[in-house]
Amino acid sequence: MRVLGIDCGTERTGFGVIESDGRNHQLVSAGVIQTSAKAPLGVRLQEISREIRSVIARDLPVAAAVEEVFYATNVKTALKLAHVRGVAMLAISEAGLELGEYSPLEIKTSVVGYGRAEKRQVQVMVKSLLHLDQPIESEDACDALAVAVCHATHSAIRRKLEGVRA
């Protein structure tokens, strides 16, 4: 199963695509969509949308996942983040991909085994789970890969449970 993970941000949106059977994960691609903080929000959202569509067309995932909005102390920041999530979810939906949404706690628990893990612990585990020689340097791309791993793992468990019920 090929999965696209997205770590939403208005200036830096991370993406990561993996190939996975739910237990073994392999990196397909990862990167960051960088927008200018000086550009109007609408222009930034267009650029993020265009780039996500490009990743979907290039890497052909069958599923995608995004992190749920967390409660931020800055309401303005949370609203902008919600706009980016909306753009990402629209691109995913238009492509007909299965969509998963996970809390930061679920993502960290899936990847590290501990829901309060630090960024560095996530980075080390993503490197290990994807059998990489070097860690992913960009925190945004690494977080996006963690989202993808979380979805691949949850999807495999869900499929197994459906098979047991059948």
The average pLDDT across 104-110 equals 95
Which of 7, 51, 106, 143 is flagged as catalytic?
Answer: 7
Which of 11, 47, 59, 67 is flagged as catalytic?
Answer: 67
% of the chain surpassing 90 pLDDT? 83
The per-residue pLDDT for 161 is: 77
Catalytic-residue membership of 59:
no
Q: Considering its fold, how many domains does the chain have in total?
A: 1
Tell me the residue range of the domain where 156 lies. Answer: 2-165
Which of 21, 137, 139, 140 is flagged as catalytic?
Answer: 140
The number of helices, as runs of H, and strands, as runs of E, in the chain is: 5, 5
The average confidence (pLDDT) of the chain is 93
CATH number at residue 82: 3.30.420.10
> Does 123 have pLDDT greater than 70?
yes
Q: Which residue has the tokens 């949370």?
A: 78
Catalytic-residue membership of 67:
yes
The beta strands (E) that lie in the chain are given as 2-7, 12-20, 25-34, 63-67, 98-102
